[in-house]
Amino acid sequence: MQEAKYDVNFVGGLTQNEGGPAPNPDFDLDHHGHWGWTTEMLLPEMRQWTRDHQPDIVLLHAGTNDCFGEKPVEEIRNNLGRIIDQLREGKPGVKVLLAQLIPTAPPYEQINAKITALNALLPALAQAKTTDHSPVVLVNQNTGFSRAANEDLYDGAHPNARGEAKIAARWYEALQAPGLLGKQLPLSSAPGRRVSPSTLVVSPVPAQERLTVQGVARGTRVLIWDMQGKLVYQLPAPSASFVVDVSPLAGGLYQVQAASQRARFIKH
């Protein structure tokens, strides 16, 4: 997307992978991917996450962990439908890319029959849930993904670099649908840089006791997250420039969010 000059901003309350930092930290790391979570675990969180981060587009690949258990595929499908409902509760016009799940490989190949059965239910779900205002786009992540050990999956369930590239390519292809990614930036624009009439600025960096927040419309909800995705501060902006007492925060890296804008600071 950077090479194609799309103006995009990843959002979410997390910046790290399960178990530690991302191996390639040279891109926008914000996300809300949760290792090991089932659709039942995701469902009660979706509305608030969407309210907090206001995504225009959600990439939803969920249900694999459910397939390891006894839950019927119809129930998993129904949970995915409820997740879409909750996303819309948080942002009514959200656009959802719904994945048909990637397969598994040894030692987990036994759940592929259940993944196949669930995937077969998703075209009808996408059709039933899509609206002109909030489309649901089905993305086939399964076809072409290897079921052999150590080809596209490093442990039989999670993608390696080759598998990640395949998944990314399918998402990107789906995002080319009209009305999703929006206009490309002029060729002179820097890849990955957001162009905005108002820019969120925090200072000083690093901060010790006081942090000045600027470039925020009055009343905009301002959030501060730590790097483990925990919300540590929130309030409606009292003015376009205001001061936050950060003295109670532990030392470390934090992220400030105001609508779709984000900035980071270090607390000493």
Domains along the chain? Answer: 39-175 (3.40.50.1110), 201-267 (2.60.40.10)
Residues 212-217: what's their mean pLDDT?
A: 88
In percent, the amount of the chain with pLDDT more than 70 equals: 91
28: phi then psi, degrees, rounded to nearest 5: -65, 115
Digit-coded pLDDT (tens) for 81-113: 999 999 999 999 999 999 999 999 999 999 999
Q: What is the pTM of this model?
A: 0.70
List, in sequence order, the alpha helices (H) in 68-111: 73-90
The confidence band for 148, taking pLDDT boundaries of 50, 70 and 90, is very high
User: How far is it, in rounded angstroms, from Cα 7 to Cα 5?
Assistant: 6
Burial of 166 (0-12, 13-18, 19+ CB in 10 A): middle
CA distance 175 to 1: 10
Segment among 7-16, 128-137, 245-254, 256-265 with least mean pLDDT: 256-265
Among residues 156, 72, 155, the alpha carbon closest in space to that of 109 is found at 156
Mean pLDDT highest for which of 23-32, 102-111, 193-202, 226-235? Answer: 102-111
Residue type, 52: D
Residue pair 88/94 in contact by the 8 Å Cβ criterion: yes
**Confidence band of 186 (pLDDT split at 50, 70, 90):** low
SS3 246: coil
3-state secondary structure of 199: coil
Distance CA 59, CA 99 (A): 8
Structure confidence at residue 140 (pLDDT)? 96
